[in-house]
Amino acid sequence: ITDLVEKYGYASTGETFSIADPNEVWIMEMIGPGPGGKGAEWVALRVPEGYMCAHANMSRIGEFPLDDPENCIYSKNVISFAKKKGFYDPKSGKPFRYCDAYDPVKPEKCLYCASRVWSIFRRSAPSKKFSPDFARAVKGAERYPLFIKPDSKLSVKDVMSLMRDHYEGTPFDMTRGIDAGPFGTPNRWRPVTWKVDSVEYAWERPISTQQTGFSFVSQSRSYLPDAIGGVLWYGMDDTYTTCYIPLYCSIDALPEAFTVGNIREFSFDSAWWVFNFVANIANLKYSYMIKDIQKVQSEIEDNFFELQPAIENTATELAKTNPGLMKKYLTDYSVTHGQQVVKRWEKLGKDLLTKYNDGYVKNEKGWIKSVGYPEQWLRRVVKSRGGTCKVPIWK
């Protein structure tokens, strides 16, 4: 990566990269030199064994060692360039911090970015009792550490859960409040910021957001052959309403539904549109529909986890005698199950539309029930609309 940007340049205003193989994980942050410049300034740190890191559109690397190449590498001008641009003054007596020089803290960055880091950390290490102050842009609040040790080892399923987060169970829970509507949708339509009486406000920016195009959990294991040990658990659209599908790194084909689609034209042939179909329908009666979605989601994903040891044992045996057949075996597994999930999600969307048509709720026999609105929301309606909803009483 660094050789490429040195040769061709880097135009981005800054990015954080997670780089992993079966044995180690590094976090690298990089920023371009601006118009007319060449190359890039960057720093990379190895994640300590047993620790984790989280980043969300905000620089996370602060101080870093200049003499520990086993655990930290950096561009030769990363400090001098900051000095030249006036981003860092060594006379200040303060040590050089990459994040302070190249991505200074701003209130909006805390709200939109640090909040996501806080939520991952609070869930992964609840014993640490991480304060939300920095995430809420409290001036002078302490930044979150770059690396933390989770209270227990995280599984693939745990990481999927972390990515399906709207700050549930916190004061910032997006399924609560008048802005969640009567049925607790965690989605807030853009723009993120808005003004009332010249005062600026902002919606929460969660980890799981409706405009997600795709997401994945990358699983790498050193005790298996590379062709088998590397799995990309891939999901289309919103993390909360998607279903993660295992795609092995050695496969040479993808599910057809993953390769077609046009953002300007809906099609059930496209996985992206199928998952959008379900996610958007859910907004109509979210607190009801999400339970149906999660039921199917859990059934499929749990089944993948149950099948995984047997699939990989078979693939490992095939790899010993016929690597080509092993690749075909894993390709067929990923492609077949990927297509099946897309079809199941299409059926799920149609089932939701049928079950909740026109605001009713149908049971398994097709009988409809009027469920109305939650009492708390009705009280807000009465308060805001006064007597316009009140039924007159004649005496």
How far from 102 is each of 33, 83, 200, 324, 389, CA to CA, in Å?
Answer: 11, 11, 26, 48, 55
Model pTM score = 0.95
Average pLDDT score over residue span 9-13 = 90
Q: Residue 248: its pLDDT value, please?
A: 99
Count the neighbouring beta carbons within 10 Å of the beta carbon of residue 260. 13
d(CA 60, CA 354): 46
Q: Is 233 helix (H, G, I), strand (E, B) or coil?
A: strand
Domain coordinates in residue numbering, the chain: 2-153, 216-362
Closest CA to 254 of 330, 325, 331, 307: 331
Average pLDDT score over residue span 34-38 = 85
The DSSP output letter for 265 is B
Determine the Cα angle at 85 with ends 80 and 88, to 5°.
65
d(CA 182, CA 286): 9
Per the structure block, which two tokens stand in for 239?
């993390």
Count the neighbouring beta carbons within 10 Å of the beta carbon of residue 209. 19
Arithmetic mean of pLDDT over the chain: 97
Q: What percent of the chain has pLDDT over 70?
A: 100
Q: Residue 386: its pLDDT value, please?
A: 76
Whether the per-residue pLDDT at 35 is higher than 90: the answer is no
d(CA 187, CA 206): 9
Whether the per-residue pLDDT at 283 is higher than 80: the answer is yes
**Residue with token string 């996610």:** 279
Phi, psi of 27, rounded to the nearest 5 degrees: -115, 125
Selected residue with higher pLDDT from 144 and 387: 144
Question: Tens digits of per-residue pLDDT, 130-143?
Answer: 999 999 999 999 99
Per the structure block, which two tokens stand in for 204?
């929460």
Whether the per-residue pLDDT at 276 is higher than 80: the answer is yes
Sheet holding 245-248, edge to edge: 214-219, 231-236, 245-248
> Which helix or strand (DSSP H or E) is residue 101 part of?
helix 98-102
d(CA 193, CA 107): 12
Question: Tens digits of per-residue pLDDT, 148-183?
Answer: 999 999 999 999 999 999 999 999 999 999 999 999
How far from 234 is each of 89, 114, 217, 338, CA to CA, in Å?
Answer: 44, 25, 7, 10
Report residue 387's pLDDT band, with 50, 70 and 90 as the boundaries. confident
Q: What is the CA radius of gyration of the chain?
A: 25
Whether the per-residue pLDDT at 379 is higher than 90: the answer is yes
Per the structure block, which two tokens stand in for 28?
């690298």
Instruction: Say how far residue 310 (Cα) sits from the centre of its chain.
Output: 29
Question: Tens digits of per-residue pLDDT, 305-344?
Answer: 999 999 999 999 999 999 999 999 999 999 999 999 999 9
- Quick one: CA dihedral 306, 307, 310, 315, positive or negative? negative
Closest CA to 244 of 267, 269, 212, 222: 212
Q: Is 378 helix (H, G, I), strand (E, B) or coil?
A: helix
Per the structure block, which two tokens stand in for 160?
């999927």
**Span between the terminal Cα atoms of the chain, in Å:** 81
Q: Which amino acid is at 192?
A: V
Please answer whether residues 56 and 116 qualify as being in contact, where contact means their C-beta atoms are separated by less than 8 angstroms. yes
Per the structure block, which two tokens stand in for 295?
């039921």
